[in-house]
Amino acid sequence: MLIRKEQDLDPIQTEVFDIMVGYDVEQKNRRKQHATRRLLEARRAIERHREEKELMSWIDEDTWFEDEH
């Protein structure tokens, strides 16, 4: 629905237009939040992987279980 600038809208048309625009903005915000949440989860997974890798290097040390006598 294209609306010319000089065309006056009745209150119902204005309300429908506002609802449509509001819905589009809301959907855009939801997509943005979802993308942000996925990015955060990916970052956390990377951090966990790095921490596990570092811990494994400490645990796998040959001298870890040797007696210090």
In a domain, 6, yes or no: no
Q: What is the mean pLDDT of residues 30-46?
A: 97
Q: What is the pTM of this model?
A: 0.56
In a domain, 11, yes or no: no
Buried b (16+ CB within 10 A) or exposed e, 29-55: eeeeeeeeeeeeeeeeeeeeeeeeeee
In a domain, 7, yes or no: no
Look at the chain and report how many structural domains it folds into: 1
When mean pLDDT is compared across 6-10, 22-26, 32-36, 54-58, the lowest value belongs to 6-10
In a domain, 9, yes or no: no
In a domain, 32, yes or no: yes
In a domain, 47, yes or no: yes
| pLDDT reading at 61 higher than 70 | no
Q: What is the mean pLDDT of the chain?
A: 83
Full domain range(s) for residue 30: 24-56
